[in-house]
Amino acid sequence: MSAPNEFRVPTVPCPHCPRKCLSAAGLLRHVNVQHRSISEDIPDPNLPQSRPHPTATFISHPHLNARKTSASGAFLFDGDSPPPPPTAPPAHTPEAWAPFQSRVEFDFVFDHYVKVESSASDIRSSLDFWDAVLAPHGDAAPWRNEKELYETIDQIPDGDIPWKVYKLKYNGPLPRSPPKWMTETYELCTRDSRAVLHHQLATREFRDKINYSPYRHFNDDGKRVFSNLMSGEWAWRQADALAEDPQNHGAMFVPVVAGSDKTTVSVATGHQEFHPVYVSPGNLTNTARRGHSNSVLPVAFLPIPRTKRRHRNKPEFRTFCRQLYHAALRRVFKPLEAVMETPEVVKCPDGHFRWAVYGLGPYIADYPEQVWLSGIVQGWCPKCNAKPHALDDPGARRRTREKTDTYCSRLPTSILWDDYGIRDDYRPFMHHFPRADIHELLSPDLLHQVIKGTFKDHVVAWVNTYLKAVHGETQGGAIIDEIDRSLVPPFPGLRRFPDGRDFEQWTGDDSKALMKVYLPAIAGFVPTDMVQCLSAFLDFCYIARQNSLSAEDLDNLDDALARFHRLRDVFIRAGVRPNGISLPRQHSLCHYRHSIVLFGSPNGLCSSITESKHIVAVKKPWRRSSRFKALHQMLLILVRLDKLHAARRSFEERGMMFGTTSGYQRLLLSGNTPLPPTVRLNASVDAEEEDHAPSTGPKVLSSIELSRTREQARLYPRDPHALAGVIGQPRLPDLIQRFLFDQSNPDHDHTSHPIAIKDCPDALGPIYVHHSAIARFWAPSDFCGAGGMHREWIRCNPAWRNQYARHDTVLIEVDGEQPGMRGMMVGRVYLFFSYEYDGTTFPCALIHWFTTIGDRPDPTTGMWVVRPEYLGNQAHMAVVHLDSISRAVHLIPTYGTASLPEDLEFYDSLDAFRTFYVNRWVDHHMHSFMYGDG
C-alpha cells in the first residue's frame, strides 16, 4: 500500500459543526475530542437493565441476586435506599484519629512502619529527634520508645484478625526406633478464614470493583463474553445448586479463591522455607484481585516437615507430608463450612448488608502444588486421565471427585497408581466440603504454564539448543547473544535490555518483555516452521492473557493451539526433542478453553498474584525479624500492617488523608473541615502519569488529544516559518497550507485538479508545540478493566528524559471500511502542534509516512512489514489532523542475520534500518486489533 501524495478527502459530516471526517470511526473520534460529554459507564451487571446497552447485555442470576438487607438481615424493599451512615467521629475532631491523636502521629507511624520499614533502633532515633524539637516548647514526642509506638498500633480496632496456632502430630504406628519426624509436633499458623473474608468484603475500596451476583455477559453480536470469575459458568451453576433451597433466594454467592505456593527466603548462606496460603473473595473483579490491596490476604502458613536425607524419599514420610498438608488445609477452611449452605449477613463494599453463602472456588497453584492438591502421581494431569507419555491424547477424559472416590473404593493401590495416576493414601481436602471438586477447581496458571513454562522453559530453551546444535557451542552462543541484544524503539509499557541478559536469569516479568520482541529477533536464524510455531504459540498466549474473552476469542484460542501442536513437531524433526513432547505444563493448555468458560479470564487467577504477595507476606516480614522463631514475629508484623492499612483506608474515606501532612494541619488551623473525596470528572492527566493505563470516559472506538502543556515560546517560535528552521523541517509551512486547504475544501478532487501552493491559505500562525498526545481507545480485550477503555501516551520529544530524541510511530486511518492494517497506515510523528486559523484551532501532527510492503502480512512471522517512504531524496511528510490518528504502534527492525554494530543504540533503530515489522505482540490490545489481519 503506497502512501497518498495528499491526505484523503473527508466526506462524513459532523452533526455538531461544519467539519467533515474520513469515516464513521473518524467521526466518533472527532465528536469525542471536540464535543465530548461523559457517557454512562458500563452498566452494573447486578442491576436489572431497563434498556439494552449498545455494546453489552448482562443477565444476572434470577435467585442468588444479592438483595440488600438491614443489619439484622431483613430484605430492603427500596433497592435505592442509602447505606447506613458511618459511625466514626467527625473528621475534624481528635477522636477521629483514635488511637492516634492527630494526622501527624498517624503519618509518622505509617511512614516508619509501612513505607520505610524502620528498625526499632531507627524508630527510637526518630522519636528522640522529635522529642528534641519539641523540648524548647515544653512538649514531648507522643511515644518514649518503639514499644509504646507498637502498643498504639495494636490498639487499632480495624483489621484485627489474630493468628492462632494449631498443633499437629503423626499418629500412626511407631517403629522401635522412630525417626524424629514421627515424634515432632508441627505448628499450623492460621487466621479465621471467615473473618478474613468479612474484612475483605467490607472494604469500601472495592465498591466499584465487585460483582454481587453471577451473571452472563453477551456482546452486541449476541456472543458470550467471559471476564471476571462471576461471569463464568461455574459461578452460575453453583448459584443454581444453592437456589434449590428457597432460603438462599436473594443471597449473595461468595466464591472463595485460594492459592498456595511454597517460597524460600534467604539470609547469608542459609535459607528458610514457608508455605503461605492466600484467600480472596471471588466476587472481586480481576483488576481488583491483581491490585496491591487487601483483595488477596494470607490466611495460613502450612507446616513443612523436615527430616534427614535418608528418610526423605521413604513412602511413609512422603505420605505423612501429604496427609499433614491436607489436614492443615481442611483446618484452614473449616470456619466456612457452616455457611456454605446456610447464609449469614455480611457488610459489603457499598456499605449495605447482604446475606452471603460461600463455596470453595478456583485454587491457584503451580504444577507441583497441583499434584499434591489433587492426589495424583507426578507426571500425570490433575484434570484428565491422559497418561504421562501421551498427555495430549484427544481421547483423555476429565477427572471428577466422584470418579476418584469410586476408583479408590474399588481398585487396588497398584492399579490406581499405574493405570489412573491416583494416590490412595490420602484424600484431597476439598472432598470434605460441599460442591467442591479439586480436579475442576484447579485454575489455569498463565505464569508457570504459559509464560515461564511453555515459552521460556520450553520454546526459548529449544531454540537455543537448536542454534548450538547447528552452529556449534561458540557460534551458537554468539547468535543467542545477538538475539538477546535485539534493539527496539521505545513504546509504552515496553521493557528493554539493550545490553542483553542470560535467559536463565529472567523472571516472569522479563519473560513477558521478551515475548514482545523475541519472534522478529529469531527470524532468519531458525527454520521457518520454528518461527511459525512461536507465532502460533504467541497467538495462544496473547488471547489467553486478555482480560475479557468472547466466544470468537475462544475459537481463535483453539485454532492457535492446534497450529502450535502441529508446528511444534519441527523440534522433534530437528533432534531437539527426539523422544517427543509430553509435558504437563504444556499439556495444561488443552484445558484452557474449558477453564475460561468456567472461571472467566485466567488473568484474574494467575500465580503471579500470589507470588507478588510473597514479597509483602513473607520476604519483607522475614527481613524485619530477628530470624529466631521468625514465623511468630512475621505474623505479628502482618497483623500490624493490616491494622495500619485498614486505618488508612478508613481515614481516606473521610477525607482525612487529603494532601500532605503539613498541608492538612494548615487546613485545620485555618478553620476548614476536610471533605470526603469525590469523583472528579474530566480530571486533567498529569504528564508524569504512566504511559499506558486503563482510562475512564466515553466508550468510543478511539480518540486522541494533545497534552495540556504547551511548550514555551522561547524554545519554539509561534511563527510556522521560524519554527520550521528550529525543528529542521523546511517544508512545514507548505504542508500546513495544504492541510488548511483540505480542511476548507473537503470535497476537492486533487487527482484531477491539483492545487498549487500559492492557491492555498497562508500559514501565518500562531502555532503551539506539544511534546505528547494522549490516545484513548476501546479495548474489548480489557473489559474487566476500567469499562474497556485504555489510555496510552504518544511522545514526540527532541530530548526525551534529556537523553535522546523520541519520535513515536502511530497508526493513521486512511480507509475506515477496511479492517485492521488494511485500513491503516503507519506514520512517524515529528511534531505535535495546534494551529489557529480563521477562528478555529486545529490539533495536528507532522508525520513521515511509512508504506506497507505487499498486501498481506509476512507469511513467516505473521506481521506486516513497512518501510519509510521517500519522494525522490526527500522524506514523504504530511500534516494530518489529530482525529485521523488511531493509536500508537510499535515497529521492530527486520534485523537479518548480520551482527549489529556495538555502538548502535536502541533509540537510533528507526533511523538505522530500512524495513520494520509492525509489532502486534507489543501488548494484547494491539494483538487483538491485528489478530487474523491478513
pLDDT at 702: 59
User: How many CB atoms neighbour CB 108 within 10 A?
Assistant: 21
Short-list 278, 270, 255, CA closest to 599: 255
Instruction: Verify that 769 and 908 share a domain, yes or no.
Output: yes
pLDDT at 862: 92
- How many angstroms separate the CA atoms of 882 and 847, rounded? 11
pLDDT at 721: 92
> Which amino acid is it at 304?
I
Phi, psi at 181, each rounded to 5°:
-65, -25
Instruction: Verify that 592 and 696 share a domain, yes or no.
Output: no
- Whether 641 is in a domain gets the answer no
Instruction: Verify that 459 and 590 share a domain, yes or no.
Output: yes
Short-list 236, 242, 310, 196, CA closest to 45: 236
- Whether 415 is in a domain gets the answer no
Instruction: Verify that 719 and 591 share a domain, yes or no.
Output: no
Torsion of CA 585, 591, 593, 596, to 10 degrees: -80
- Whether 820 is in a domain gets the answer yes
User: How many CB atoms neighbour CB 15 within 10 A?
Assistant: 7
The count of structural domains within the chain is 3
Instruction: Verify that 566 and 701 share a domain, yes or no.
Output: no
- Whether 586 is in a domain gets the answer yes
Instruction: Verify that 703 and 590 share a domain, yes or no.
Output: no
pLDDT at 348: 95
Check if the beta carbon of residue 114 is closer than 8 Å to that of residue 641.
yes
Domain edge (last residue) among 556, 576, 599: 599
Instruction: Verify that 772 and 904 share a domain, yes or no.
Output: yes
Check if the beta carbon of residue 846 is closer than 8 Å to that of residue 732.
yes
Instruction: Verify that 717 and 821 share a domain, yes or no.
Output: yes
Measured CA distances, 159 to 164, 202, 294 (Å): 15, 11, 10
- How many angstroms separate the CA atoms of 282 and 664, rounded? 37
Domain edge (last residue) among 583, 599, 615: 599
Expressed as residue numbers, the domain containing 746 is 692-930
Phi, psi at 12, each rounded to 5°:
-95, 115
pLDDT at 160: 85
What are 644's three cell numbers?
Answer: 495500619
Beta-ladder partners of 804: 800
What are 63's three cell numbers?
Answer: 435467585
> Which amino acid is it at 127?
L
- How many angstroms separate the CA atoms of 814 and 884, rounded? 8
Domain edge (last residue) among 551, 582, 599: 599
Sign of CA dihedral 458, 549, 784, 64: negative
Q: pTM score, two decimals?
A: 0.88
- Whether 669 is in a domain gets the answer no
- How many angstroms separate the CA atoms of 334 and 321, rounded? 20
Instruction: Verify that 592 and 704 share a domain, yes or no.
Output: no
- Whether 434 is in a domain gets the answer no
Integer-rounded Cα Rg, in Å, for the chain is: 31
- Whether 172 is in a domain gets the answer no
| Residue 571 three-state SS | helix
Cβ-based neighbours of 771, under 8 Å, separated by 6 or more: 707, 709, 711, 795, 796, 797, 832
Short-list 231, 314, 315, 268, CA closest to 56: 231
Q: Which H helix or E strand runs over 254?
A: strand 252-260
- How many angstroms separate the CA atoms of 83 and 483, rounded? 58
- Whether 293 is in a domain gets the answer no
pLDDT at 7: 42
- How many angstroms separate the CA atoms of 808 and 475, rounded? 35
pLDDT at 53: 40
* Average pLDDT per consecutive 10 residues, the chain (934 residues; last block may be shorter): 47 64 59 43 41 63 95 83 75 82 94 94 95 92 95 92 93 89 92 96 92 93 93 97 96 97 63 86 94 91 89 90 95 97 95 96 96 96 96 94 95 96 94 96 95 94 96 92 83 69 61 88 94 96 92 96 97 95 96 97 93 90 87 93 93 86 86 60 39 47 79 86 93 92 80 83 88 80 57 90 93 83 92 90 94 92 95 92 90 88 88 94 83 70
DSSP E strand stretches across 610-733 = 692-694, 702-706
Measured CA distances, 645 to 160, 163, 638, 649, 926 (Å): 11, 17, 11, 6, 37
pLDDT at 49: 39
- Using alpha carbons only, give the angle 600, 791, 601 rounded to the nearest 5 degrees: 5
